[in-house]
Chain A
C-alpha cells in the first residue's frame, strides 16, 4: 500500500513539474508559432497553426534589423570585451593576492566596494565626460573600453579568491627556473585558472551580449547597432505590422539558444559559482 501511494505521489509530482515547465516555456513557442503568420492571422487567432509556413516575415525582419551587421557588432564587442576583462583582471587579482603591500589592500577594498555602484549612478557623468566634453562617443572601441572598466571589479574578485587557494610552490619553482613574473603568470598561473575563467566568461557574455542601456548611450549611428539596439529600433519604428516583429524576436533568441544547448552545464555552473562567491 505504502509503495503504491508513493508511486502515485511520485507520478503526480512528475506531471506537475513537467506541466509547469511547459507553461514556463510557452511564451517561446507562441513567438515561434506566430512568426510564420500574417499580421491579420496573428491578431485574430494567436493560438492557431499558421496557414502556411512562409518565411516572408523572416526575410523582412532580417533586412529591416540589418541582422548580419547587428550580429557582427554584438559578436565583436562581446568577445573583445570579455577577453580583455579576463586577462587584465586576472593579472590584477594575481598581483593583489600575492603581495601584501598597503597599496594593494586599498586597491582591493576600492574594487570590491565599487561592485555596489549601480550603473545609473555613473551613467550621467559618463555621457557628460565622454560625450559632451571629450566627444569620444559613437565608437565601438570606447564601448569596449567601458565594458573593460565596468567588468574589472567582479572578475578580479572571483580570480582573487581562486588564486589565494593555489599553492605558492609552483610559482616559486618557475621563478627559480628563470621565468620573469609575467612569464610565470601566463605559463603557470593562468592555465590553472580555467574553472573560474569559465565562470567569468559565462556571466560577462550574458551581461554584454544582452546589454541595452550602455550601448544605447554610446553607439549613436545605426550602422553600429548591436542586436538589442537593432531589436529596439525595429520595434519602435514598425509597430503596426506585428508578424515580422515576431520573426525578429526569434532571430535574436535562436543563436543564444543554440549555444545554450551545448554549454548548458557550464552556464549554470558559472551562474552558481558567481553568485556563491
Chain B
C-alpha cells in the first residue's frame, strides 16, 4: 500500500514538473477563456454595465437576426472561396513548373515564398499603395477604364482587391507544400504512365493528381481556416471600407465587442465563426482518414 502511494505521489510530481508550466499557460490563456466565452454568450455582459444576467439564447437570436452580420458573414464566405480556389490553383501550377527541371529551383521557390515573411499590417499597406497609386497610374496611361479609379474605393471591387492580395501571399506558401508533394511521388510512376501511353494533361489528371490528394487536403485546410480568420491585412488594406463592403467576420466581431461594447453578442458571433472553422477542420480529418484507408 505504502509503496503504491509513494509511487503515485512521485508520478504526480513527475507529471507536474514536466507538464505543469505548459498546462498552466494553456489552461489560463486558452481553455478557461474559451469555456468562459461560451458562458458569456448566454449572458448580457458588457464592460460598461458590469451586469451579468442569464438571457438564454437571446444573443444568438440577435446574431442571426442581424442583417449586417449575415451579409458580412456571407461576404466572408465568398472571399474565402475565391481566395482558396485561386491561391491553390496558382500554387499547384507554380509547384508543377518548379519541379519540372527548371534552373534555379531553390532561388525561385525562395522568391515566390517571400510575401509570407511579412505580417498582415505591412502587407495591407504595401497593397494599399499599389491599388491607390500604381494601378491607377497604369490605368491612366493606358486609358484602361477599369484601372483608372482605385479598386479600393468601389464596393463591388474592393473585395476582389482582397482576393488578389491573398492569392499573392498564399500562393508561395501553398506552393512549397505542393512541391513537397510532387517530390514525394516516386519517379517510376509518371515514367510507367508515360510508357503506357499517358501523355500531357491525361498524365496529370489520371496519375499525378490522385497522388497529390494529401497535399490538396492540407493546403485546402490551411487556406480555408486562415481565410475565415483574416483580420490584420483587412484592417490595413481596406479597414472595412467602402461602406462596410469589405468588413469581414473577424473585423465585424472586433468592432461589435470593442467599439460598440457589446461583448456578449460579439462573443456569440465568435462562437458561430468557431463552429464554421471547426466544421472545416473535422471535414478535413474525416476526408484524410478516408483517403488513408483507400491508399
Contact = CB atoms under 8 A, between A and B. Distances in A.
Interface of A: 13-14, 16-18, 20-21, 24-25, 27-28, 30-31, 34, 42-43, 45-47, 88-89, 91-92, 94-96, 101, 103, 107, 110-111, 114, 116-129, 132, 145-146, 148-150, 152-153, 156, 181-182, 185, 206, 209-213, 228, 231-232, 235, 242, 245-246, 249, 252-253, 256-257, 260, 264-265, 267-268, 271-272, 275-276
Interface in B221-245: 222, 225, 228-229, 231-232, 235-236
Interface residues of B, number: 87
Interface string B17-45: 11101110111111111101100100001
A166 to B, nearest CB: 16
A30 B133 CA distance: 11
Contacts of A272: 176-177, 179-180
B116 interface: yes
Contact of B126 (A21, A31, A47): A31
Nearest to B262: A124
A275 B218 contact: yes
Contacts of A152: 22-23, 25-26, 30
B130 A27 contact: yes
28 contacts: A13-B100, A17-B97, A21-B112, A30-B129, A34-B129, A91-B21, A92-B19, A95-B15, A101-B11, A114-B26, A114-B30, A117-B30, A117-B274, A123-B257, A124-B263, A124-B267, A128-B263, A153-B26, A181-B18, A210-B120, A211-B119, A213-B231, A228-B232, A235-B125, A245-B125, A253-B122, A271-B173, A271-B177
B23 A92 contact: yes
A46 B138 CA distance: 10
A268 B110 contact: yes
Given A107-B19, A271-B176, A114 B273 contact: no
Given A117-B274, A118-B270, A268-B110, 12 more contacts: A24-B112, A88-B21, A107-B19, A114-B26, A116-B277, A116-B278, A122-B33, A124-B257, A185-B18, A211-B119, A267-B113, A271-B176
Which among B19, B110, B120, B125 has the highest number of chain A CB atoms within 10 Å? Answer: B19
A148 B25 contact: yes
Interface of B is mostly: helix
B22 A89 contact: yes
Contact of A43 (B29, B133, B177): B133
A107 B22 CA distance: 11
Interface of B: 11, 14-15, 17-19, 21-23, 25-34, 36-37, 40, 45, 47, 94, 97-98, 100, 102-103, 106, 108-122, 125-127, 129-130, 133-134, 137, 168, 172-173, 176-177, 179-180, 218-219, 222, 225, 228-229, 231-232, 235-236, 249-250, 253-254, 257-258, 263, 266-267, 270-271, 273-274, 277-278, 281
B19 A249 contact: no
B281 A30 contact: no
B100 A120 contact: no
Query: 7 smallest A-B Cβ distances: which pairs?
Result: A149-B29, A210-B119, A125-B33, A149-B25, A95-B18, A125-B37, A92-B22
Contacts of A260: 110, 114, 117
Contacts of A146: 29
